[in-house]
Amino acid sequence: MTTLEPEPVAREVRFPDPYEIETPAGAEGWEEMYPYYLRFLPQRREADGGRTWFRDGMHFPEPMPPFDIVSAEQAFMSTGVMNTRVFALPPALGLDFRVLNGYMYMSALGVEDPAEIGRRAEEFAVRVGHYYKNWPSLYAAWEDKVKEQIAALKAITLPALGDFEPVENVLAGRGITEANDLLVAYQRVLASIDAVWNLHSEMLNMGYAAYLNFLMTVKGHFPEITDQAVAQMVSGVNVLLFRPDDELKRLAHKAIELGVTQQVTSAADFASLRADLGGSEAGIAWLKEWETSADPWFNFSYGNGFYHHHRSWSDDPTFPLAMVKEYIGRIVAGENLDRPLAEVEAQRDAVTAQYRDLIPAGPDRDAFDEALGLSKVVFPYVENHNFYIEHWYMTEFWRKMREFGDLFVRFGFFDRAEDVFFLRRTEVHDALVDLQIAWSAGGPPIGPVHWPPIVAERRRVIDALKHWTAPPALGPAPGEIVEPMTIMLWGITNDQVERWLAAAAAGDQTVLEGFAGAPGIAEGPARVVLSPDQLDELVEGEILVAPITSPSWTPVFARIKGAVSDIGGIMCHAAIVSREYGLPAVVGTGNATATIRTGQRIRVDGNVGVVTVLDD
Amino acid sequence: MAPKRIAWFEELRISDRPSAGGKCASLGELIAAGIPVPLGFTVTAQAWAEVIEFADLGHRIGDLTRAVDPNSSSALREVRQQAVEIIHGATLPPGLEEDIREAYATLCARTGRDDLPVAVRSSAVAEDGAANSFAGQQETYLWVQGADQVVLRVRDCWASLFTPQAVAYRAKLDQAHRDEAVKMAVGVQEMVDAEVAGVAFTVSPTTGDPSVMAVNASWGLGEAVVSGEVTPDEFWLSKIGLTVTRKTVTHKAHRCVPAPTGRGTQIVDVPADIADSPCLSDELLHELGEIALRVEKHYGTAQDIEWALARDPDGSHRFMLLQSRPETVNQATRAAIQERTAARTAGAQAYLSVLKGLGLPGQGPG
């Protein structure tokens, strides 16, 4: 007999104690890559060891390079300041976060005192009320603010640091020198990311809260409704995350129109294609179309934007070019690549109407309409912010930081520009001061003898940490989980915790449970993809198994039969994209990439959220 | 016009309960709604009333039951024995037996089969389910063949009013309710040789969720499910799009099939190769779900449906509904579930209650 109900688990069960976890072999000394305030310090063993910590593998699936942790700091800090200080969520503050063996863990801070909850509720009503009532205009303003920030970041220029201060500075009597410009440029970059992450979180929690409100309204009437059915009712059909893929299809059509398919489909890489097409009018016209698409739409991370090495389509056009080739072939073969937007929308509205009809007319149906209406108002922001921040802005951010890397390479600090990401942000500051001093005085910087062995060692440690399997949670089993972001985005619910505990207790690895991200059932060989550079290995008909998929992987969804992720709730990108593509998806399984091996036959049941390993 | 002794299902509507009993009236209503139901007729409550009057059963059995001590099980058994003898030995009003035989012959002709196997079932007139149960009005005889057997089983259904528990139950009632409790119709319907059978609820029996449907199914006739002989497969469907959302496939060791004698049924082992297989495919569940939704829509309220899947010799299949009645979900269960949900989300609720007081911009769908 097969049963799909999770086994009940006794509450005494604990997740591993963060203070008992050992350092993986070869990763000794990992701690010095991260600031003191992010580590489980022995002095805080009693306080931190007594709390529940959830791994944030959704945003941070890999060990953090020392500089990249700035993205984690910004993400958690901005969520925190909005919850705690800006909107005064009554029962929830922000999230504490720590790094353990290179992996990010978070722990929610709550408000227990009813009087304090009441005080916060008054503030919350005024502040959040203003946002909800003026949402469309605030969202329009938000888009402008983000675009301004991106333009400002791109405008930050690093000083030339040639043999002499530029003569025009001297003739203008400027006084302030390029040595100062260098430091200011770095400070402006750090201030920029800090500002942009404030914007990222400005409206996000309210968006999720409105959604949670709808979810709970619906669950009150339909206790057994799947999360995916609820999500479907509010999902937009024309989401920015699909735009880059639409641009690839547009470029395929343009190539046919301009008669350059031969050159495009036979190109070895983008550089040779550019050279090839540069000689003809039609070729130049197509390249212009490419540039139009690329800015901003190819600022689309291969990963999730939180790591410097995830890169984007514009940093590395291999993948978009391959997809344009594939789309050309499919168009020539007579396939219609257009997404049936009207159909998807009509289907969504039909499903919504069917549920609505099951609710008795009167106050209950009115409440449903109100909750749905609010969700629809906030959803464009919820669905689109990710492209603006994680993809577009972060692509520009890492690019700007590589300019500092190039400068360090020029002055002999490192061999590779990428090495800059193996310094902590305060260490980058130190190295810049080193460079300032050296350039100013005309002597040699000290960095070139100091940093290379440290960077080499840290690269080795990060590699060792990659092979460590981070537990989904640490510390005692939690009480009720109420923080909306935790539930909606990370998919950490009371039921999910029970499943993790059950899995830890049972050790059964042939059936994995997660969230029903997108409906349907598929069977096929698994392809475990741990990083974007493995995407090429995906063969038609395989099932993608990944820690978390990135929206920029969207085009490969045309090739696969289903998707499984370690991390993510029903609003995560894998689920959104799978629903759009009509592929079954199970998200938030916790440990699919550690359990499933490439080549194993698996079954993905996106109706109930179960993955079964069918053979070895 | 004098009330009819025999009524064909297709002539009946739900309002005919006083003459046809709830079971048969509901089948008539289903036919009117275009739902597939086995062919059949009712020997009405009027016919039974005529029997009582013609054979003077009111006195002969009434004297027996009035005198019995409802706490003495041996006395009750004795009453039953005598009542069965009286009912089976009673001379029926002129023409009634012929009417039943003629209706059966017509049924055979309509289905194109001599000696058509039929199910003969009591069909209670009283609304009270508990009364029906105690009054023996749930009696069903399966795989009855030939006019003689049909008449015999109709008499058995009448006699089932005098089981010890029925007599004891009625002894506690006042006269008006007692009179009501002995009114009964008998349904005679084409037997469905079910490959698979079971029940369907058009609302979650565990949480009362109106957007889901639960189906229990097992191999063979539905009696194996109803009697608890097997743990049936359990399927859950979402009413929206009628997709299967959950399956629990059990080991179904036994099934109820027609007896080799051609009369009655027996429980046999299920062949090993199908005992652990789901007995309905997603396609069939979809088809059954559509029928169940039509029934629910027709009545405007959630239904508890008995169904059977017949496999014809040419390999085609058809679903038949054997019965449908309003499903009253256990309200206490539903309240408990809601309380648990509320407790689990208490923190979020506190937060969201603030949201709800804001008078937010809402727009209805469409």
| Minimum Cα–Cα distance from B214: chain A residue | A224
Most B CBs within 10 Å, among A130, A214, A224, A480, to test the B interface: A224
Nearest Cα of chain B lies from the Cα of A614 at a distance, in angstroms, of 17
CA gap A485, A213 in Å, rounded: 13
Q: Which residue has the higher pLDDT, A447 or A569?
A: A447
Amino acid letter, residue B171: A
| CB neighbourhood size of A217 (10 A) | 22
Nearest alpha carbon to residue B247 among B257, B234, B258: B234
Say yes or no: B357 contacts chain A, CB-CB below 8 A.
yes
The rounded distance, in Å, linking the Cα atoms of A297 and A299 is 5
Strand order in the sheet with B40-43: B6-8, B40-43, B184-190, B118-124, B140-144
Beta bridge partners of A526: A543
Q: Which residues of B touch A608 (CB under 8 A)?
A: 245-246
Check B354 against A121: CB less than 8 A apart.
yes
Average pLDDT over residues A593-604: 88
- Per-position DSSP letters for A251-285, written without gaps between them: HHHHHHHHT-HHHHHH-SSHHHHHHHHTTSHHHHH
Q: Is the distance from CB of B292 to CB of B305 less than 8 angstroms?
A: yes
A262-274: per-residue pLDDT in tens?
999 999 999 999 9
Please give the pLDDT value at position B73.
79
CA distance A551 to A580: 12
- pLDDT at residue A90, rounded to an integer: 81
pLDDT tier at A616 (50, 70, 90 boundaries)?
low
**CB nearest A133 (choices: B348, B356, B361):** B361
Top pLDDT among A11 and A521 is at: A521
- Please report, rounded to a whole number, the percentage of residues in chain A having pLDDT higher than 90: 53
Gap from A25 CA to chain B (nearest CA, Å): 41
A369 vs B244: CB contact, 8 Å cut-off?
no
Q: Which of residues 258-287 of B touch A (CB under 8 A)?
A: none
Tokens standing for B200?
Answer: 């369907």
Beta-carbon-side half-sphere exposure of residue A344 (alpha carbons within 13 Å): 15
B329 in contact with A, Cβ within 8 Å: no
- Is the CB of B346 inside 8 Å of chain A's CB atoms? yes
CB–CB contact A370 B244 (8 Å) = no
What is the structure's pLDDT at B364? 31
Q: Which residues contact A176 (CB under 8 A, 6 or more apart)?
A: none
Residue B96, CA distances (Å) to A548, B2, B50, B141 in order: 76, 14, 9, 20
Summarised one tens digit per residue, pLDDT across range B153-206 is 999 999 988 888 788 888 878 888 878 888 899 999 999 889 999 999 998 877
In A, which residues are within 8 Å of B365 by CB distance? Answer: 349, 352-353, 356, 369, 372
Q: Read off the pLDDT of residues A333-353 as tens digits, 9 standing for 90 and up.
A: 999 988 788 888 888 899 999
What pLDDT is attached to residue B336?
A: 59
Note whether A224 contacts B243, CB cutoff 8 Å. Answer: no
Query: Between chains, do A209 and B212 touch, taking CB under 8 Å as contact?
Result: no
Return the higher-pLDDT residue of A12 and A230: A230
Distance, in Å, from the CA atom of A363 to the CA atom of A346, rounded to the nearest integer, reads: 26
Give the H/E segment covering residue B254: strand B254-258
- Which of A466, A469, A422 minimizes the C-alpha distance to A447? A422
Confidence at residue A513, expressed as pLDDT on a 0 to 100 scale? 77
Lowest mean pLDDT among A282-291, B209-218, B284-293: B209-218
- Are A225 and B241 within 8 A, CB to CB? no
* DSSP H/E element including A434: helix A425-441
**Candidates B207, B347, B352; nearest CB to A223:** B207
Contact yes or no for A224 and B236 at CB 8 A: yes
Minimal Cα distance from A365: which residue of B?
B364
Q: Which residues of B touch A132 (CB under 8 A)?
A: 358, 360-361
From A167-171, A276-280, B205-209, the region with the lowest mean pLDDT: B205-209
| Cβ within 8 Å, pair B211-A225 | yes
Chain A interface includes B249 (CB < 8 A): yes
Higher pLDDT, A484 or A230: A230
Report pLDDT for B260.
83
Give the model confidence (pLDDT) of A76-122 as tens digits. Answer: 999 899 989 999 988 778 889 999 999 999 998 888 888 998 898 88
CB–CB contact A354 B238 (8 Å): no
Structure confidence at residue B366 (pLDDT): 27
Contact B246 A1 (CB under 8 A): no
How does pLDDT run across B61-100, given as a tens digit for each residue? Answer: 877 887 788 878 788 888 889 989 999 999 999 999 999 9
pLDDT at B356 over 60: no
